[in-house]
């Protein structure tokens, strides 16, 4: 580990977070997961919680998160991360527990677990990486796929008449009484990345302080299945996704904003 050699008082402008491993990531070029992993690791470092954090990895592109994030991590069955996180947090209330999930995992098959964990106000942090498409399985329609967006299972574009419109998770969770912090950010450029880090810091801080459920939705590029170049994917996130999924804080300090 290179960071173990830095006993000098040298000021670092930048270095890889300690909570991020050296394992090369399997993510596609331009994928948002790598950025979210790095942000998560930075926040874990910043709050100095690496030794008490237990994460839950989803089924989906981020299933191998335990190779990259240096904290204890469990897999969960597809969609069940919030239930597994509940089971961990309830028996280890002093630990910091997060679930890291994609849109298919969290908003389709895991909708029930997502909503009920939020409604119970579980003192966990849910990180929702929304890239509007299933990645790992090859680009199928997600519950958050935009109207008209083409995927392999809606090759003509998503038709709300037969497929329903995209589901907005922050708005849905914001109808519940118990969640403490709900925020949507977008990885659409440097400013968006900074806001994402801030949202994650706020969410984990809320959990550390025992305030209850925190939910951070991160609109994220997936150039491969959003069917565009990496730079265009940032534009897709900024212009098309953010139009359907407003980027804002929905609830702070337990109150809707």
Site residues, other proteins (CB under 8 A) = 50-54, 56-57, 59, 63-64, 66, 69-77, 80, 83-92, 95-96, 112-113, 115-116, 120
| Residue with Cβ nearer other proteins (104 or 221) | 104
110 and 143 in contact (C-beta within 8 Å)? Answer: no
Residue spans of beta strands (DSSP E) within 62-114:
72-75, 96-102
101 and 76 in contact (C-beta within 8 Å)? Answer: no
| Residue with Cβ nearer other proteins (87 or 254) | 87
CB of 55 to other proteins, least distance (A): 9
Of 152, 71, 57, nearest to 100 by C-alpha is 57
125 and 207 in contact (C-beta within 8 Å)? Answer: yes
Query: Buried b / exposed e across 84-109, counting CB within 10 Å, b at 16+?
Result: bbbebbeeeeebbbbbbbbbbbbbbb
| Residue with Cβ nearer other proteins (54 or 186) | 54
CB of 6 to other proteins, least distance (A): 19
CB of 12 to other proteins, least distance (A): 23
CB of 26 to other proteins, least distance (A): 10
CB of 150 to other proteins, least distance (A): 28
| Residue with Cβ nearer other proteins (36 or 54) | 54
| Residue with Cβ nearer other proteins (70 or 195) | 70
CB of 208 to other proteins, least distance (A): 13
CB of 49 to other proteins, least distance (A): 9
Kind of pairing between the strands at 181-186 and 249-252: antiparallel
User: What 8-state DSSP symbol labels residue 96?
Assistant: E
| Residue with Cβ nearer other proteins (82 or 219) | 82
Q: Six-digit token pair at 100? A: 């890291």
| Residue with Cβ nearer other proteins (71 or 185) | 71
105 and 73 in contact (C-beta within 8 Å)? Answer: no
Q: How remote is the C-alpha of 144 from its chain's centroid?
A: 14
| Alpha carbons 20 and 43: distance in angstroms, whole number | 11
H or E stretch at 208: helix 190-208
């Amino acid at each position: 580990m290179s960071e173990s050699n830095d006993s000098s008082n040298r000021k670092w402008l930048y270095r890889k977070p300690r909570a991020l491993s050296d394992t090369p990531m399997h993510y596609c070029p331009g994928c948002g997961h790598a950025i979210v992993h790095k942000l998560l690791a930075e926040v874990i470092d910043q709050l100095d919680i690496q030794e008490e954090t237990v994460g839950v990895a989803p089924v989906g592109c981020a299933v191998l998160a335990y190779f990259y994030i240096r904290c204890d991590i469990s897999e969960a069955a597809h969609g069940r991360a919030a239930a597994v996180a509940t089971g961990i947090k309830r028996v280890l209330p002093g630990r910091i527990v997060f679930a890291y999930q994609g849109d298919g995992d969290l908003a389709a098959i895991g909708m029930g677990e997502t909503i009920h964990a939020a409604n119970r106000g579980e003192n966990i942090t849910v990180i929702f990486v929304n890239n509007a498409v299933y990645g790992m399985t090859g680009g199928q329609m997600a519950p958050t796929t935009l109207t008209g967006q083409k995927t392999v299972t809606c090759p003509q574009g998503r038709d709300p008449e037969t497929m329903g419109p995209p589901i907005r998770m922050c708005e849905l969770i914001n109808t519940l009484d118990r969640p403490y912090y709900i925020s949507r950010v977008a990885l659409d450029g440097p400013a968006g990345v900074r806001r994402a880090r801030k949202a994650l810091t706020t969410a984990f801080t809320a959990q550390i302080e025992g305030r209850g459920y925190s939910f951070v939705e991160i609109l994220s590029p997936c150039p491969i299945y959003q069917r565009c170049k990496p730079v265009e994917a940032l534009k897709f996130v900024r212009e098309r996704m953010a139009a359907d999924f407003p980027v804002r804080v929905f609830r702070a300090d337990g109150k809707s904003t």
